[in-house]
Chain A
Amino acid sequence: MNHSVSITVNGVSHRDEVEPRLLLVHYVRETLGLTGTKVGCDTGQCGACTVLMDGQAVKACMVLAVQADGSQLTTIEGLAENGKLHPLQEAFWEKHGLQCGYCTPGMILTACHLLERNPNPTEAQIRHGLEGNLCRCTGYQNIVAAVKEAGKRMRA
């Protein structure tokens, strides 16, 4: 039996009928067509599916769409405002914090969560904070530099 869910995504409110087993990540990607959020694994390690749910970074593959009823989501598509990139997006661009780009949306949203709570993190804190986000391309160094740089800009 389908259930009705009301979820606001990037400021737009939606109401849809979904199967209870529909994962939030599939709701976002397929029901809403917001494909920026990615699926990278099936056991919850990779973090490519990370979105902000009521301001907190969560793995959308580990949440059922029905559990997100009534919540506010931010996906990568919702970060830039009126075409102006978020400081994290700018910093990732400047510091070459991405190569294939697949882990990038999830990485940026976790970094968002991190910086909003710890605006001036050390490198160790950034590396530790990104434990739930795997990247196979960059070797992380430029990602860490990007997060540090974004923190600086967000504090300015």
Chain B
Amino acid sequence: MAARIFGSGIKRREDPRLLTGQAKYTDDLALPRMAHLAVVRSPYAHAKIKSIRTKKASQMLGVLGVFTGKDMVEAGFRPIPCAWVVPNSETKTPPYPPIATDVVRYVGNAVAIVVGTDRYRARDAADAVEVDYEPLSVVVDAFKATQEGAPQLHADVPKNICFHWKVSGGDVEAAFKSADVVVKERIVNQRLIPNAMEPRAALAQYAPATGKVTLWATTQNPHIARFLLSLDTGTPEHKIRVIAPEVGGGFGSKIPHYPEDSMVIFAAKRLNVPVKWTETRSENYRGTIHGRDHLQEVELAAKKDGKIVGLRGKVWANLGAYLSTASTGIPTILHGLMLSGVYDIANIHEDVWGVFTNTTPVDAYRGAGRPEATFLVERLVDMLAAKLKRDPAELRKKNFIPPFEDGHTVATGIVYDTGNYAGAFEKALKIADYTGLRKKQAEKRNKEEYLGIGISTYAEICGLGPSQVAGAVGFGGGLWESAIVRFHPSGKVQVFVGISPHGQGEETTFAQIVASELGVSVDDVEILHGDTDQTPMGWGTYGSRSTAVGSGALMGAIGKIKEKAKTLTAHLLEAAAEDIDYADGKFFVRGSPEKAKTIQDMALMANVAWNMPKDLEPGLEASAFFDPPNFVYPFGAHIAVVAVDAETGEVRLERYIAVDDCGKVINPMIVEGQIHGGIVQGIGQALWERAVYDESGQLLTGSMTDYAVPKADFFPNFELAMTETPTKVNPLGVKGIGETGTIASTPAVYNAVLDALSPLGVKTIDMPLTPERVWRAIREARR
């Protein structure tokens, strides 16, 4: 192959259909006789349902049916399963009915559904369903929910404590006793609303004659959806086909199995027409999972020379009203195990309580547990630097885990794969001109102008993951991946994968891998995903796993293809298989490259099978499954430069430098895009985003009019650079990059603002750092 395809920023294969409006997302789909489902939702955060009167609604124009939770129970629909129950944490799993029958527990909780001939009429009829509620007292704060007097949401969950999980390493008591200095902080890692631009939707079609249910849905993981639906809809797994059409972003919010998936299947079966549900953005804000929402009390212990000796903390994680699919694993496994960050911290302990409150369920949102870990670590390190009057960059360097290539075990017990934290950091400091920035900062301070420099050095755990570990930590599925590589007689290739990308670009990068490994043209390869009838079992796209794990399966299948092609070549050239070499899509006897067979030749020969060696089956197709031996741990260093307007509290981003390491890079353009997007979401948390409930459980930030999704003119261009420290966990040496930007950027910007304000005596501000909060902090400090 002339040009190197692996490592090339080629244009994406996904784009032509997306750019021209030809791509079909779930709400774009229409089937003959399709009806629309509207959900009647509770306006109360906590209430008993006294009665539901549906007669008026059912007689309205265009209404096919009005149903309640009871109807679904009678039809054999069971509560939504929780697919992750972390062991050794006394986890309680109260039921989550798809439609509430007796009690509603959050504003947005479904109480009835209406199916109508068009979406406007369905909404009219939904508004005509009359529900009598008996309001109960409400609690929205996780800590308060564990206290005396708080209403209990679920019968068997006293103090609303769903679980108590701990992680421990070393001897944290001793460490803190021996410390010269301790810094403490109370952190609110605030609740966020994921806001994927495409609202959720689900379209179900039922064929009574075959008993087959087809569900098109905005899911990040069609196979998991199929599996869970087989458990709660009374439909056997082989009779369910889940298709993820084009999906408009997920960020974790489209991982869960939601009540509406069951509702449309129920309605389709009951009414014998296809039924589609599409959420409005207002419904999305209440009915689609939220992210983060931790209250953390944390402390860091160190020696006076700056060496960190211990970290401990207590976390109250708000889970919302019910357990969503992966809720319990996010603030525990994906969070607590990463408390070492990039530092050599020998003694760590964290207690995490997962708590139910009358709010929207909380589950994975970009970073899922790791932003909550990285933020607290990077914040404590900066506080330590301030206390010791040391430069925060120098303090970090002193505590980095030294570079390693063959695994490094941290105090929490996990084994990082490869890392060179100092390397990434030095690069970032150089690009930022850190010394120059500190000089500029000092000059500006003399003029009462406040420039801030914020650092965030991170490592994170992704590429989910080793299935044995998944089982050990209570995840209800596997985390391996699959790929089928199929050569057609004409030499073109189709690849079927178990991942389910929705913007991450694997249709392109996986084609690049095939092209690079087998010498076919990238244009001759098609990557197919998202249809459970078409693709092998897999676990979907989230946790930055698609490339790290999916490529392992792809390489496995490619390896088998190569082996088979070699064997067939040997047979056709009358040579021994071990004398066959491969290069650039050609198979030849070593030393005679001019007598080569192309992979296309082999595809044809294998498919027509006119002359096959004994014991070699026809066809040139291979399937492989890859179960990674470990997670992967991308890392990096981000530096944010901000200017604070001390009069108004406004924060302006001046520069943002990101040095990241995701191991080998298949397509640098796609990698950069993931980093850009991640950074913006993380800065969103630092400066603008927060889901706010009032005491009665009403979501005050109830629409995009109040919840600030970041806009284009909030940002400068980001300055990106990479280092490359391959992993040994998978054949290509690739790590994940989808969430690193979000994980790193929140503390980078936060630290920058606090750095800007330090001469004014400001020590802490709760996120998001809105202008008012910054202004108040300055005012308080001046008193």
Whether B20 lies near A102 (C-beta < 8 A) is no
Decide if A57 is an interface residue (CB 8 Å cutoff): no
The answer to whether B28 has its CB under 8 Å from any CB of chain A is yes
Chain B, residues 643-687, CB within 8 Å of chain A (1/0): the string is: 000000000000000000000000001101111111111000000
Asked whether A154 is an interface residue with its Cβ less than 8 Å from the other chain, the reply is no
Q: Quick one: which of B1-50 are within 8 Å of A by CB? A: 9, 11-12, 14-25, 27-28, 30
Tell me whether B151 is interfacial, beta carbon within 8 Å.
no
Given A99-B677, A102-B248, A139-B678, residue A40 in contact with residue B712 (CB < 8 A): no
Give the distance in Å from the alpha carbon of A147 to the alpha carbon of B502 in the complex.
Answer: 23
Residue of B20, B25, B505 ringed by the most chain A CB atoms within 10 A? B20
* Closest Cβ–Cβ distance, residue A27 to chain B (whole Å): 12
The smallest C-beta distance from B529 to any residue of chain A, in angstroms, reads 14
Q: Which residues of A contact B22 (CB under 8 A)?
A: 36, 77
Within 8 A of A (CB), among B683-715: 703-705, 709, 711-713, 715
* A75 partner residues in chain B, CB cutoff 8 A: 21
Q: Write the nearest CB–CB distance from B499 to chain A, whole angstroms.
A: 15
Does B195 touch A at the CB level, under 8 Å? Answer: yes
The answer to whether A34 has its CB under 8 Å from any CB of chain B is yes
| Cβ-defined contact, B676 with A142, below 8 A | yes
Per the bound structure, the CA–CA distance linking A37 and B22 in Å amounts to: 10
Complex CA distance for A34 and B246, rounded to whole angstroms:
16
* Cβ–Cβ contact A100 & B676, under 8 A: no
Task: Return chain A residues, CB-CB under 8 Å to B19.
Answer: 76, 85, 89, 92-93, 98, 101, 104, 108
Q: Range of interface residues on chain B?
A: 35 or more
Assess whether B299 is interfacial by the CB under 8 Å rule: no
Instruction: Report the bound CA distance from A26 to B30 in whole Å.
Output: 13
- A76 touches which one: B21, B281, B711 (CB < 8 A)? B21
* Given A99-B505, A105-B21, also A42-B281 (CB < 8 A): yes
Taking a contact as CB atoms under 8 Å apart, the answer to whether B15 and A48 are in contact is no
Q: Is the CB of B712 within 8 A of A36?
A: no
Are A137 and B120 in contact (CB-based, < 8 A)?
Answer: no
Known: A42-B282, A102-B249. A37 touches B15 (CB 8 A): no
Contact of A101 among B246, B673, B678, B712 (CB under 8 A): B246
Q: A40-B199, A101-B18, A137-B197 are contacts. A144–B712 as well, Cβ < 8 Å?
A: yes
* A35 at the binding interface (Cβ < 8 Å): yes
Is the beta-carbon distance between A98 and B197 smaller than 8 angstroms? Answer: no
Contact B705 A102 (CB under 8 A): no
Is A141 a contact of B282 with CB atoms below 8 Å? no
Kindly provide the distance from the CB of B709 to the nearest chain A CB, expressed in whole angstroms: 5
Contact of A127 among B12, B503, B681, B713 (CB under 8 A): B713
Stretch at the interface among A1-9, A65-73, A128-136: A128-136
Q: What CA separation (Å) do A105 and B25 show in the bound complex?
A: 13
Report how far A133 CA is from B709 CA in the complex, Å.
Answer: 11
A30-51 interface bits toward B, Cβ cutoff 8 Å, 1 = contact, 0 = none: 1001111111111101101000
A54 within 8 A of B: no
Chain A proximity of B311: nearest CB distance (Å)? 31
Given known A-B contacts A40-B198, A40-B199, A103-B197, A139 and B20 have beta carbons under 8 A apart = no
Residues of chain B lying within 8 A (CB to CB) of residue A134: 197, 704, 709, 711
Q: Is A17 an interface residue (CB 8 A)?
A: no
Whether B167 sits at the interface, judged by CB under 8 Å, is no
Interface 0/1 of A121-153, CB less than 8 Å to B: 001101110110111111111111000000000
Say yes or no for A16: interface residue by CB 8 A criterion. Answer: no
What is the bound-complex CA distance between A67 and B519, given in angstroms? 56
Interface membership of A63, Cβ < 8 A: no
Interface residue range, chain A: 35 or more
Q: Which chain B residues border A93 with CB–CB below 8 Å?
A: 11-12, 15-16, 19
CB distance from A13 to the nearest CB of B (A): 20
- Is residue B280 contacting chain A, with contact meaning CB distance below 8 A? yes
**Contact assessment for A34 and B21 in the assembled complex, using a CB-CB cutoff below 8 Å:** yes
Q: Are A139 and B198 in contact (CB under 8 A)?
A: no
B718 near A: Cβ within 8 Å? yes
Name which of A89, A101, A138 has the most chain B CB atoms within 10 A of its CB: A101
Are the CB atoms of B249 and A127 closer together than 8 Å? no
Q: Which residues on the A side are within 8 Å of B677 (C-beta)?
A: 99, 136-139
User: With contacts A38-B198, A43-B703, A102-B248 known, is A140 near B676, CB below 8 A?
Assistant: yes
A29 part of interface (Cβ distance < 8 Å) = yes
Distance in Å: Cβ of B209 to nearest Cβ of chain A: 29
By beta carbon, the residue of chain A nearest B668 is A96
Contacts of A48 in B (CB 8 A): 197
CB of B679 within 8 A of CB of A98, answer: no
Docked CA distance A105–B20 (Å): 8
The CA of A40 and the CA of B200, in the complex, are separated in Å by: 10
- A92-B15, A108-B19 known; A135+B713 contact, CB < 8 A: no
A42 and B193 CA atoms in complex are apart in Å by: 16
- Is B247 interfacial (CB 8 A cutoff)? yes
Bound form: Cα–Cα A96–B509 in Å: 13
Proximity bits, A74-96, B CB within 8 Å = 1, else 0: 01110110000100010011101
B437 at the interface (CB under 8 A from A): no
Q: Hey, which chain B residues are within 8 Å of A136, CB to CB?
A: 195-197, 249, 251, 677, 681, 709
Q: Is B504 an interface residue (CB 8 A)?
A: yes
Task: Say whether B676 contacts A138, CB under 8 Å.
Answer: yes
B717 at the interface (CB under 8 A from A): yes
Contact of B673 with A96 in the complex, beta carbons under 8 Å: yes
Is the beta-carbon distance between B676 and A141 smaller than 8 angstroms? yes
Are the C-beta atoms of A38 and B25 separated by less than 8 Å?
Answer: yes
> Given A48-B197, A136-B677, are A100 and B15 also a contact pair (CB < 8 Å)?
no
Bound complex: CA A34 to CA B712 (Å) = 27
**With an 8 A cutoff between CB atoms, is A21 at the interface?**
yes
Check B713 against A124 for contact (C-beta < 8 Å): yes
Residues of chain B lying within 8 A (CB to CB) of residue A94: 11
- In the complex, the answer to whether A96 meets B718 with C-beta atoms within 8 Å is no
Are A29's CB and B504's CB within 8 A? Answer: no
Nearest Cβ on chain B to A23's Cβ, whole angstroms: 9
The answer on a CB contact under 8 Å between B704 and A141 is no
User: Of B251, B280, B672, which is within 8 A of A42 by CB?
Assistant: B280
A sample of 5 more A-B contacts (CB under 8 A), given A36-B22, A104-B19, A131-B712, is A40-B199, A46-B281, A100-B502, A102-B25, A139-B715
Name the 3 nearest CB pairs between A and B, nearest first.
A36-B21, A102-B248, A101-B18
19 A-B residue pairs with Cβ-Cβ distance under 8 Å, sorted by A, are A22-B120, A45-B709, A46-B704, A85-B19, A93-B15, A94-B11, A96-B9, A96-B11, A96-B669, A99-B505, A100-B248, A100-B503, A108-B19, A127-B715, A131-B713, A137-B673, A139-B715, A139-B718, A142-B672
